[in-house]
Structure 1
Amino acid sequence: MRNIPPMNDTASPQTTSSERTYSGVAISERAAVRRQRFIQAGITLFVSNGYQATTMRKLTAESGLTNRYFYESFQSMEDLLIACYESLMSDFRDQLKTVLDSASGEPEQRIRAGLTCFFQAMSKPEFARITHSEVLGVSPRVEAVYSRYTADFAELLMGYLSPAADVPSSENSTQREYVGAALAGAVINAGIVWVRSRYAASLEEIVDATLTVFLGTANQLQR
């Protein structure tokens, strides 16, 4: 997560030609900083206490902001959970694309690099718990967000598996969708089992295990 600078909310207002400011900082920018502070506080509390046990009192104490500022950016605690989830997943997706795009060598090496990136993320409690535990079973709305990001992850995986299997990305879109969903499910479930085992296997072992699923799928697609 990004470091958020402290902010003095008692600063005196100033007026500029474009937007009202406080101590030279635009109101919209200060609101964005406050929002990010709530997201950071939410991530901390959802990991340590769990989503269901996180109260407004705990959240304002952790963030150092009042509930008035909370409702400036969020309508409910569920909104904050979604924002925390999307922030973590967005950071992960950016990192994953960077890793995959910069990986050299055969497609197998790119897939290995991508799997390593995912399991490294799963080794961090805030990512593993919030993105694959706390968001589950909350509401249909949260489930829809989770499903959307999982489908996006599956599409990204297939984008890098298809060259390994020598399968054009436009060929059999239905098969591509379901194969991607199956692979994403396999990787995510392997990650969950790994977390619940308290990382009994090494990073290299879990990557090797899931890589066999990808290589077997690639071989099958080539037939």
Structure 2
Amino acid sequence: MRNILAMNDTASTQPASATERTYSGVAISERAAYRRQRFIDAGIILFGNEGFQATTIRKLTAQTGLTNRYFYESFQDMEDLLIACYETLMSDFREQLQAELDTASESPEKRIRAGLTCFFNAMSKPEFARITHSEVLGVSPRVEAVYSRYTADFAELLMGYLSPTGTSVSTSDNTQREYVGAALAGAVINAGIVWVRSRYAVSLEEIVDATLTVFLGTANLLQR
């Protein structure tokens, strides 16, 4: 989870625009962004531990030390905050995954293993697992649409594991590519959910090895 250091009222890390109002040397927009991030950090803690339905504005303001007014400065409602928390977690995960792949071996198997290890490392954090694969489900069509978009993006990324440097995916059929990617994403996500619900009954290495077989089998079939 991202953390923002407590803001110093007498200094700013970035200069304010010449036309922007400041307070004690800090731009108003910067203060608003800082407050918004505090609510996101608090939302991740509360949604991840107590759940979306159990989290109230009162709990959020108690967690942040900020007032209702500041909450509505950045978010329309609790659903809006849930989406922001989800997108923050998924964006952080995507950055971590990209960093892993950038330094991974060119061997397709090792790249796939690196990607799976990154995913299950993220799932080993209960707040990430609960918010990204439980709390966002069944809230509203709007939240479901955000989840579906990120899941489709994840599926496309997984298909990319099967084609980098050395593993050629033979299919150019966009429909097949979409559904194979969705099947892989579903397999990985469901394996992660089972792992979380078991309270991490097997090691990280064991869950990675188990899901790796699905990828390698798929890669072999697509190369025929």
Instruction: State if a TM-score over 0.5 links the two structures.
Output: yes
CA contact (8 A) 2:170 2:222 kept: no
* Aligned position for 1:75: 76
Provide the C-alpha distance between the structure 2 equivalents of 1:30 and 1:189, rounded to a whole number of angstroms. 40
Q: Distance in 1 between matches of 2:97 and 2:106?
A: 17
- Following superposition, the deviation at residue 5 of structure 1 comes to 2.3
**What is the CA–CA distance in structure 2 between the aligned matches of 1:60 and 1:199, rounded to whole Å?**
33
Could you say what secondary structure the match of 1:167 adopts? Answer: coil
Which ranges of structure 1 fall in alignment gaps of 5 or more residues?
none
2:168 is aligned to: 166
User: In 2, are the aligned partners of 1:50 and 1:134 still within 8 Å (CA)?
Assistant: yes
Once the two structures are superposed, residues 155-175 of structure 1 have per-residue CA deviations (whole angstroms, 9 ceiling, x without a partner) of 111112124641268x11111
Deviation of 1:8 (Å): 7.1
Deviations 1:159-200 (A, max 9, x none): 12124641268x111111110010000000000000000000
Matched, 1:111 2:112: yes
Question: TM-score, normalized by length of structure 1?
Answer: 0.93
Instruction: Give the C-alpha shift of residue 16 in structure 1.
Output: 7.2
Confirm or deny: 8 A CA contact 1:116 1:207 kept in the other structure: yes
Matched, 1:28 2:29: yes
* C-alpha distance in 2 between matches for 1:160 and 1:48: 33
What RMSD in Å do the two structures reach over aligned CA positions?
1.9
Offset of residue 105 of structure 1: 3.7
Residues 85 and 130, structure 1, Cα contact 8 Å, conserved in 2: yes
Distance 1:17 1:48 in 2: 42
The SS at the match of 2:202 is coil
2:83–2:143 contact (8 Å) kept in structure 1 = yes
| Same amino acid, percent of matched pairs | 83
Show structure 2 runs of 5+ residues with no match.
Answer: none
Once the two structures are superposed, the pairs formed by residues 160-199 of structure 1 within 5 Å of their partners are 160-163=161-164, 165-167=167-169, 171-199=172-200
Runs of 4 or more off by more than 3 Å in structure 1? Answer: none
**CA–CA distance in structure 1, aligned partners of residues 87 and 170 of structure 2:** 30
